[in-house]
Chains A and B, each alone.
Chain A
Amino acid sequence: MSSSAAATDLHAPERAGDYTSTGLPTGRVAIWWFLASEIAIFGGAVACYLLYRLHHPEWAEQAAHTVNAAGAFNTVVLLTSSLSAVLAHHAAEQGDGKTAARWINWTVLGGLVFLGVKAWEYAHEIGAGLVPAKSLFWSFYFLLTGLHALHVIGGMTALYVVGRGAARGQHLGRVELAAIYWHFVDVVWIFLFPLLYIAS
């Protein structure tokens, strides 16, 4: 990063494929900037929810209608899928694409289970008349969980694509990037769960 450090390797060989100014892989620098923008989007939405919730203490009564058990189950699913994602990363680091792909498949399965449970919850709630227009609490509930679900779908797609490559031993560096993104989706849920379910 410092100019003096870079100056010492002035006469190093021509730029190889993996030469970077900072020494960090470009993909990893990019993913953190990407997550920064995601933090601003989720952070903005959650900030709005918190501001309204603090103004309307009576929402606690409505929050009691969310299904804690389903939320808790989904938290377990996501935490576990994060474990398999980090194990995939671990395997990729050691150059074992096949094992990495297998762990990624478990993570994608976790994402599917999560979405299935979420879909059941939505159906249950909408059936009970708890639609977005029912009240502001439910508007926020669907906004935040819907936005999160979209990110789950995006993360699963990325993992699936990366996993296919890893199974053939290609682009193992991308496993880490997809895994970092998946952990981020997990972290968002770690905060959404108490915000929308437990605290009532």
Chain B
Amino acid sequence: MDSPTATGSGHGAGHYVRIWAVLLGALVVSLVLGAITNSPWAIAIIFAVATAKAALVLAHFMHVKLEPRWIRLIGAGAVAVVGVFFIGLVPDIVYKFGFVPGGIQSAQANPANTVAKLPPDAGRGATVYATFCLACHQADGRGKNGTLAADFVSDASRLAKPDSELLASIANGRQANGLSMPPWKDALTAQQRADALAYIRTQFGRKP
């Protein structure tokens, strides 16, 4: 496998120098275009020129044009896979469509988001807590002794605050003691936030 392998190129050195000159010319075209305008058309042309340059390098320097077709398919397959990846992600990453119809933001648009309709219920709140709060505040409400999140159990001052203040913290998030709680107003409805607080109070609060 180490023997010199004639690709059968049959090109002389002059051929390669000519290709190189064309590549440099293409570079100048891109630079000039980029300097004088930033219209979408210019950008499209710049990328077309880049593709053409890559094609020249592939065909003449890497001798792809002399390889059998199945060798060319290897690289083409890899490019196609990347293309599939890109196209599949456009709706989510470029347009964030997932957040429009019936997604998280509908909680915001929903009038129920500002006022809880039903009386707060700790039973419903248990599910909310398990899904959204437990990861940091933990099942025992101690937030790993306050290292990960506020400790409801040992620190009585936490739940001594009025409902309005705690609900505002849940909705808008809170930065204190080097800890950072994210805002939940977009992810949870007002009903869910009130239910969660009810659960926290019944589960971890001092009984009055």
**Residues from chain A with Cβ under 8 Å of B34 in the complex:** 68, 194, 197-200
Find the residue from A28, A35, A194 having the highest chain B CB count within 10 A. A194
**Residues from chain B with Cβ under 8 Å of A37 in the complex:** 78
* Nearest Cβ on chain A to B90's Cβ, whole angstroms: 7
**Residues from chain B with Cβ under 8 Å of A52 in the complex:** 93
Q: Assess whether B132 is interfacial by the CB under 8 Å rule.
A: no
Whether A86 and B61, one on each chain, are in contact in the complex, defined by CB atoms closer than 8 angstroms, is yes
Q: Assess whether B96 is interfacial by the CB under 8 Å rule.
A: yes
**Residues from chain A with Cβ under 8 Å of B75 in the complex:** 32, 35-36, 39
* Nearest Cβ on chain B to A165's Cβ, whole angstroms: 9
Main secondary structure of the interface of B (DSSP, over half): helix
Whole-angstrom CA separation of A58 from B90 in the bound complex:
18
* Nearest Cβ on chain A to B144's Cβ, whole angstroms: 27
Q: Assess whether B99 is interfacial by the CB under 8 Å rule.
A: no
* Nearest Cβ on chain A to B43's Cβ, whole angstroms: 5
Q: How large is the interface on B (under 10, 10 to 19, 20 to 34, 35 or more residues)?
A: 35 or more
Whole-angstrom CA separation of A172 from B7 in the bound complex:
13
Q: Assess whether B196 is interfacial by the CB under 8 Å rule.
A: no
Whether B4 and A172, one on each chain, are in contact in the complex, defined by CB atoms closer than 8 angstroms, is yes
**Residues from chain A with Cβ under 8 Å of B43 in the complex:** 194, 199
* Nearest Cβ on chain A to B78's Cβ, whole angstroms: 4
Whether A40 and B81, one on each chain, are in contact in the complex, defined by CB atoms closer than 8 angstroms, is yes
**Residues from chain B with Cβ under 8 Å of A186 in the complex:** 57, 61
Q: Which of B13, B62, B89 contacts A87 (CB 8 A)?
A: B13
**Residues from chain A with Cβ under 8 Å of B6 in the complex:** 93
Q: Which of A42-50, A120-128, A138-146, A149-157 contacts B (4 or more CB under 8 A)?
A: A42-50
Q: Assess whether B23 is interfacial by the CB under 8 Å rule.
A: yes
Whether A44 and B82, one on each chain, are in contact in the complex, defined by CB atoms closer than 8 angstroms, is yes
Whether B20 and A43, one on each chain, are in contact in the complex, defined by CB atoms closer than 8 angstroms, is no
**Residues from chain A with Cβ under 8 Å of B5 in the complex:** 25, 28, 93, 173, 176
**Residues from chain A with Cβ under 8 Å of B93 in the complex:** 48, 51-52, 55
A1-38: CB near B (< 8 Å → 1, else 0) gives: 10000000000000001101010111111001101110
Q: Which 3 A-B pairs have the closest CB atoms?
A: A43-B82, A198-B34, A39-B78
B residues near A (Cβ < 8 Å) are 1-7, 9, 11, 13, 16-17, 19-20, 23-24, 27, 30-31, 33-35, 38, 43, 46-47, 50, 53-54, 57-58, 60-62, 67-68, 70-71, 74-75, 77-79, 81-82, 85-86, 89-90, 93-96
